[in-house]
Structures are given as structure tokens and as C-alpha cells.
Amino acid sequence: MWPVAAITFLEGIRSRVLYGIFIFACSVILLSFVFAHFFMQDIGKVAVDFNLAALSLAGLLMSLSISVDLIGKDLDKKTIYFVLSKPISRNAYILGKYSGILLISLMAYLIIALLTCFALMLLQSFHADYFKNFAWLPYMQAVFLDYIKISLFNALILFFGSFSTSSFLNMMFSLCIYIAGQSYSDVIRFLSVQHHGEQISPVVHYVIQTSKYIVPNFELFDMKILAAHGRLMAFSDLIPIMGYGFAYIALLVGLSMIIFRKKEFL
Amino acid sequence: MKRILPLGICLGLMGMILFFYPLSFATKEKYLREEGLQPTVLPSEITGIAALDFKGLAADFQLLQAIFFIGQKIDRSEMITVEDWQRFIRMIHAVIDLDPYFFDPYYFAGALLAWGPGMYEDAIGILKRALDHRPDDAFILFRIGFVYYYFLNDFENGARYIATAAQKPNAPDFYAPLAARLSYYAGDTNFSLLLLKSMLKDTRSPEIRKYYEKRILALEGMQILENAVRRFQEERQDSPKNLEELVDAGFLDSIPEDPYGGHFYLMPTGRIYTTSKLVEIKEHSQTVLEN
């Protein structure tokens, strides 16, 4: 498993897209310096919004480009025959791929998080009076939960990659599920409010209610608003969220291994 | 020569871009203004879903849109209609729905609606929404108390909110004595000046600072006049008939100017007021025209 993980990691960091994503993240971080000046009092909140958005967007872009590519590459270029001819089991191959991707995301998250910390420290020194609600612990908590979210998203990409025949399809499926997973709680809230007597179709209700048991709820890992206001989530409240994330990751990686084991390469 | 030519062409094209950009931007702005196009206010149910996990960032941009929408009109001295203010209120509510802990929408709208169009109930409504999410925010409670006291002459509610603000952690020390003196000094110019100066200290927004500074200037003029009336009464055991009498008797060098464009006058009660009613003369006539 580890040789596959190491090769995946090395392949990932050699990708030029990664540098593009870093430049993008740095641009968003720099934008926080400009936009913070447009606000009157809650400058700390706006700075945290921008920096966490830079981190989260970079994670998403990385998954949608590098992870999708790394998973699909072996099948597209037929190098899978070469890999599987070595004494590596199919399960070890899937686990190795996922571990390699997790390592790349971890490295990227650590670097971008460090940059955002530096930017926030600078902004805090310029506007100390307007950073009263800011606290590092909630900020780090939001970064950590975002990393779990991106690990779950990568597990989803791995799952689709295990049976999808094209990288583009994998990307589209994963993106659709991500959008659904981020927004269905809002849709449920929206539907629960009566809208001027308009009746919502029972089919729509049924589909949305069912989707919450099938589609992973990515919104649970979003602590950006709380972090922006310096609000720390109790550790006891973190446990169920982390448990949900790890269980979903394990399920998706397990399913990927089962599907990949049964896959026939022609 | 082979190297200089492409470089020259590039520099020339960059020059063209720099020349045409401001012109085309101004043209586009002109057309947008002529068409009367207003920023769209999407309900928070839609923006909340569309923003995915970037709701905080969406709230920041929506607030910026609201600030620019009303700020541009103020800067250009354009007429701000009741519909414009209603649109502004809808934008602020959408921002609060996206991020109810965000301080700036409460702060900006609460001050601007009270000082600008005099929509005191709307200002209080927005400020009170903050109490659900920022219950320990002494500043918000103080602002609610201020609007009640200063604009609505509701001294009881004014004192109640400022007294509640004084009990909150991190409340400035002067809130408690202020609340205690509020009912006693109801309508007192010196007291209003004290309140306004304390609020100016905490204000960073240039638009809102302008409102405060102008009002402080007007109240300082009224304070000078009231002090002169008091000295006149003490020395002559009589009240002056008008403000000119104070100048003639040497209690004043001249009558201060009202920064709102009106004229100060002496009321039968001995208090000073102004023909502008402390509203910009142009704005005042516009409001009358609209009504």
C-alpha cells in the first residue's frame, strides 16, 4: 500500500495545477487585505471569512483536478495493468491511492493554513481594535473540520473513480453530490416554511427527505461562520461530527475496494 | 529593432487599455444609471442555498453591495426615495439571515436609517434582531436606547436599554451613570452632546461620522445660545425677546450658523431650536415633496 501512496503523493506534488491552486489561494488571501478596509467594525470576521474561503476553495479545486486525475490516470493510460502485475493487491492499491491523496491534501492544507495565519496576524496587528472576537482555537477547529470535509470529498471521488469510465464523469458526479450535500439542509429548512399557501409536491418532499440518508451532509463540517465570530464548538459536540465523517469515509473507501476488486480490465 | 518593435506594440496596447478603460467604465455606469437599474436583492433562502459553505463570504459581499448602493447615492447627492431605503432594508435583512452574528449590518443600518431618512422603527427593528444572536453586546443595546431617547423622545425605553447595556460584560463605564441621568436630563442639549461625542469616538464609517459631526456642530451652536440665554436671565432677571437681543446686549459676539442651513430661534420656553429641524434643508424639502 505504501509504495502506491508514495507514488501518488509524488505524482500529485509534481502536478502544475497544484501551483496554480496555490497562486489562487494566495490571491484570495491578499484580497482579504483589500476587502477588510471596506468594512466598519467587524474586520476580524471579514478577514477570517476570506482566509477560510481561500483554504476551502483551494481544497475543493485540488480535489476536483488533482484527485480526479490521480484516480483516473492509471485507467486512462492503461498503467493499471503494470501496477496490478506487481505483488500489490487491489485493496492495497485503493488504500494506497487514497492515502497518497490524503497526504497531498494534508500538505497543501498545512501550507495554506500557515499562510492564512500569517495574513491574519498581519491584519490583526493593523486593526487590533477590530479583532476583539477573533480567537485562534475556533479558527484551527474550522481548518481541521474543513480537512475532514475534503477527506470525505476525496473518498467520494475515489468511490466514483472505482467504477466510472471517465475522469470527467467522476468530476461531475462528485461535484453534484457535493452541491447536494452542502445545500439539502437549507432546502429542507426552506420547504418546512409555508410559502403563501403553495403546496410542495409530495414526490419532491420524499426525494429530499430520502436524500439525507444517501448523500453525505457536507454542511456539518462547515464551521466558518462560528470561527469568524470566535465561537468555539465544545469537544463533546465535535465527536458526533467527526464520527459521522470517519464512518462515511470508511464506508466509501470500503465500497470502492469491493467494486474495484470485482472490476474487469479488458 | 526586432526586439524593440514588439515591445513598443505591447506598450502601445497597454496604453490604449489604460486610456479606454475609464471611458468605457464611465459609459457603462451612465447607461446603468439612465436605465435606473438597481441591484437585485435575492432572498436569503436562495443565496443561502447557492452560497454552499461560503455563507459568511456571501454575507460580506451582500453587505458591501448594500453599502455601495446607498453610499454612492449619498456621495453623488442623488435623491434617495422611500423605495431605495426599502431596498436597502431588504438587503440588510438578507445579510443578517446569512450571518446573524455579523455586527456590521446592525451597526451600519441601525445608524444610517435613524440619521438619514428618519426610519426609526426600522432602525430599531434591525438592531433588535441582533439581540437574539448577540445578547451580550452592550453596544447594540446602547444604540437601541439612543434611538428611543434621542429620536423618539421615549425616555423610559431609552433609559431601560442603556441600563441593560450597562450590566453587560465589557460595557464602557459611562453607560451606568448615563442611564441613571437619562430621565432627569430628558431633552437636555448638553446631555445629547455627551451622548453623541461618545458615539462618534466608536464610529469608523465616514458616512455615519459625517452625520454625527454635523449634529454635534449644530448642538454646540444651540449649547452656546442656551448658555447665553441662561446668563442673560441670571443677570437681568428677565428673558430675551429673541436671539438678536443677546448679541445687542453683549452676551454673544454673533449667532452661530446652523450647519443644516436653517436659523436658530428662541422658543417661548427659553430653549433653542432651529428652522431646519436639524434636517438638511434640501433633504427636508425632498421628504416633504415625496410625502
Residue B289 domain-assigned? Answer: no
Q: ipTM of the predicted structure? A: 0.81
Q: Which of A29, A37, A42 to mutate to test the interface with B (most CBs of B within 10 A)?
A: A42
Residue B270 domain-assigned? Answer: yes
Question: In which domain, by residue range, is B238 found?
Answer: 203-283
Of A35, A39, A219, the CB nearest to B53: A219
Interchain CB contact of B99 with A (< 8 Å): yes
B37-55 pLDDT, tens digit each:
666 777 777 888 888 889 9
- Reported pTM: 0.76
How many domains, in total, are found in chain B?
A: 2
pLDDT digit string (tens) for chain A, length 266 residues: 788 888 888 888 888 888 888 898 999 999 888 888 888 788 999 999 999 999 999 999 999 988 888 888 887 777 777 777 778 888 898 999 999 999 999 999 999 999 999 999 999 998 888 888 899 999 999 999 999 999 999 999 999 988 887 888 889 999 999 998 888 777 777 777 655 556 677 887 788 778 778 889 898 999 999 999 999 988 888 999 999 999 999 999 999 999 988 877 76
Residue B248 belongs to domain with CATH number: 3.30.1300
Residue B86 domain-assigned? Answer: yes
User: Cell 462560528 sits at which residue?
Assistant: A226
User: Cell 470517519 sits at which residue?
Assistant: A246
In this prediction, residues B236-241 reach a mean pLDDT of 87
Interchain CB contact of A126 with B (< 8 Å): no
Residue B194 domain-assigned? Answer: no
Residue B262 domain-assigned? Answer: yes
Domain boundary among B117, B137, B166: B117
With beta carbons less than 8 A apart as the criterion, state whether A216 and A152 touch.
Answer: yes
Domain boundary among B70, B102, B117: B117
pLDDT above 80 (res B206):
no
Residue B122 domain-assigned? Answer: no
Residue B12 domain-assigned? Answer: no
Domain boundary among B61, B86, B117: B117
Cα–Cα distance, A246 to B244 (Å, whole number) = 82
Residue B18 domain-assigned? Answer: no
**How far away is chain A from the Cα of B199, in angstroms, using its nearest Cα?**
13
In chain B, residues 51-80 whose CB comes closer than 8 Å to chain A = 52-57, 59-60, 63-64, 67
